[in-house]
Structure 1
Amino acid sequence: MKIAMVISALGKGGAERVLSVLANFFCRENEVCVIKFDADEPFYALDPKIELISLDLGVGDLGVFGNIKKRYDKILALHRLLKSRKFDVVISFLDNTNVLTLIANLGVGQKIIVSEHTNHRFLKSPIWRALKRIFYPRAAGLSVLSKFDLDHYTYVQNRVIMPNPMFEISHAKDARPPKENIILAAGRLNVYKGFDVLLKALALIDFNLLKEWKVVIAGDGEERKSLESLAAKLRLNVQFIGFVRDIESLYERAKIVVVTSKMEGFCNILMESIFFGTARISTDCIAGPSELISDGVDGFLCPVGDSASIAKKLEILMSDEKLRERLVQNASKREESFKIETIGRRWLDFIAATIHREE
């Protein structure tokens, strides 16, 4: 089977990593072509068997008129490429690229599956919302990350919930370093991630208990300076370590992972930490955490923005090793459903069903 995968760029984002993991799986038994709009080298490694096409059209902001021309150039270049090649299926990633791919396919007839990697509420632009409503019904299929989004896209008939797959793990479980008293939070430092709520929660924890633990926040973003100022104001010893390429080494050592988001698309950190024996606490935000955690069974869910509740759950986990172990053991039962072999086969089944449906 000939599979094309389209994305704006292959930087260090979550959707970009998902594409790379899936492409590397697909190419075991299929011909895979990855098409991207920029000219930069991929951040995540791609199998040498994969054909990589860079259209070299850039992804930066060029202002209103510059952006219109840039998108026209992208559509035209992709249209020519899709017209010159015959793929069994084309999978596009992320909403704006999904729309451009569907427009580029007009008059071509490739089977397009659009793949969403945020929840639909993240898209604020009324223009892009309207474009999705117009062009998504032209897609042969749609993958989303949660039931919340599945229920939203009623205007696409062939749609499916497709969780993100786990990346390849470097070390076997018996070769990992010992766990440390580390509380890990990770993600882009923006308002949606609610790291300010985490800092306020930490300030409520008993000082004598907190001083026995190291708090690490991995990630960069526009809120970093204000968060560092808030941590200093609250007299917290928090390590802001910026973007970390090797997040695996942090998962291996951390005993607790905490997510305080106001909104999520899926929440990779809650899925990935399952594979590293890390106890999980998250806000019960839209969308994803409640589909990854059964409250009190394999992790804890707290109300969004509730620093007191988060502090209470953190104190419980910090103080009770047996409880942490029980939550971790229960969470490990979910591993199989997120392995690339499982998700990859689900993708191939969806692709095959979509192709058959369109014939």
Structure 2
Amino acid sequence: MPPKSKPSNPPDTRPLINLTKSTQILLSHYQSSLLPAKLSSSSNVSSTSSSSTTTTSNPLDTIKATTTLLRSHTTTLSLLLLTPPFTPTAVATKLSDVTMKSLTNMVNAAASPSGMGALMRSEVSAGVRRVLSAWGKLLALVGRLAEKGAVAEAEAEKQEVLSITGVVWEACDALLKICQDGVVGVVVRKAEGFRAVLLDAVEELKEWGEDVDDEEGDAAEGSDGEGGNEFADEDEIFGAANKLGKGDKELKALLDTSVKRLKMVGIFYQALIKRRLKTFPSPTSSATNGETADGTQTDPTTKLEQLMDLLKTIPDTIDDLASAFYDLNEDEAKETLDQCCSEAKRAAEIVKQSWTGQDDEFTAWAGKFISALEAA
């Protein structure tokens, strides 16, 4: 009788397990290096491989290339985790390719102090951190399958592989969109979001002003104890106290003025997006710096960042204004409204002239907006 064939030895998964653990530590370091506090120090992530020292004049080009490659590697890795037999060496090779090439170059580019303004750099680094987080989940799954020494076999395991792969894809697609949209797409999207928050707050204020508390009617209805409002005490506890009363004529007039002015600020956001944000010069444009009529040099990136800070602050100030009205605090409401209008006027002044420091149609419009806001 021919001798029975010996069963093949199971693959050695210890190197793969150790690799997943060391890579998790590296990912944590990468995540930490891209936190805002670390980015402000402008220190790049040190390369761990000679292949990771490649740089380009435009970090966004590097991020787009490495993200596209990472997405492709993720697809291949998911197939290795789903298709028997389990091959630790193939999985380890793929992990090393992703970590030592794609991720390291991506993180270095995101941490680069040149080629991106602070606003774009912050947006890109946040996108890279999401990619790292998603990849960490896939790495943890690889570790669990390596401990088991087999591919995903149970239906739940297979679904987990597919689900986490999808999470990595989504993070990569979001990062690619940031790179493709560029600074214009990022700031337009942010400004539209700020404007939506602003308009929602204005609408809430308007509705609150229309919900007038008829104090005299309530008192007359409940004065005889017959057919009165048995929920009067509960109404007072649950918010009637901060309703705008019919006698609060001065506060109502201030509210009407506030709503009118804030609607004008909403229109300003709309015009600003169309006439300034969508026309922001690309980094490669020859019009990245300009000179005003008095010879003052202009820096579009600096102006843009100052502008976006104000566009973000204004909705927060409107929230404070709403709180002052809800507290029936007229003095605080006046002060906060003035602050909000001042912020809007400062924003208009920052970009009153074009990015190259020249007067144009928006210059005249911004001047009229400031005058109208003061007169309202």
TM-score by length of 1: 0.26
Q: Which has the larger radius of gyration?
A: 2
Identify the structure with the greater strand proportion: 1
Identify the structure with the greater helix proportion: 2
Q: Which has the higher contact order (CA 8 A, sep 6+)?
A: 2
TM-score by length of 2: 0.25
